[in-house]
Amino acid sequence: MRGVEGDSADESRLRWDRDVFLYQPDLVTIGFGLNDAHAGPAGLERFIRAIRDLVVRLRTETNADLLLFIPGMMMKRDNERIHQAHRAAVPAFIQVAEAGYLALYMDALRKLALEMDLPCVDSYRIWEKMENDGIDIHTRLANGINHPDPAFHEELALHFERIIFGAVDRSQ
């Protein structure tokens, strides 16, 4: 299934058959939460139910390996990287950050991963570590809002590689 701008886990249900099950994939990475978190605590149950339903269907209807992707952080304050075309969205993103909604959703994903024995790449934890190490996370957001810079994508790819293929010897 490909990502759709602004889509949520629950809204993606309409595309599951067409974008996933039709292809009987060998590997499915599941990554939702950034858009979903804007629904706040009221949307959390619907979010987790959609992810759980997708996992159950995948395990029942395919032989695919599953990998849960826990997204990274979003902006916490206005910053110079945000394009003028996206300025109208800034207050909503700041509200989500200040209320702690994204952290709430990421914690729920971690619990679901444990409950359903899902391997996961926890990008949010990587961002938390960067922040705890004194790095201004906004310098790592390519669009200043919610998309990591190219260097982070490369780092993230290594985390995916380790989960999918195990320890990889790059010395050869």
H helices present in the chain, as ranges: 16-19, 44-61, 90-99, 101-115, 123-132, 150-165
Task: Supply the pLDDT for residue 112.
Answer: 98
Task: Supply the pLDDT for residue 172.
Answer: 52
Task: Supply the pLDDT for residue 3.
Answer: 61
pLDDT tens digits for range 5-19: 668 999 999 999 999
Task: Supply the pLDDT for residue 7.
Answer: 81
Instruction: Collect the ranges in the chain with pLDDT lower than 70.
Output: 1-6, 167-172
pLDDT tens digits for range 103-130: 999 999 999 999 999 999 999 999 999 9
**Which residue ranges make up each domain of the chain?**
11-165
pTM of the model: 0.91
Q: How far apart are alpha carbons 110 and 3 in whole angstroms?
A: 21
Q: How many CA atoms lie within 13 A of 134 on its CB side?
A: 0
Whether 55 contacts 30, CB under 8 Å: yes
Helix (H, G, I), strand (E, B) or coil at 165: helix
Bridge partners of 70, per DSSP, are: 122
**What amino acid is encoded at 104 in this protein?**
L
Whether 3 contacts 42, CB under 8 Å: no
Q: How far apart are alpha carbons 1 and 69 in whole angstroms?
A: 13
The CATH code for residues 11-165 is: 3.40.50.1110
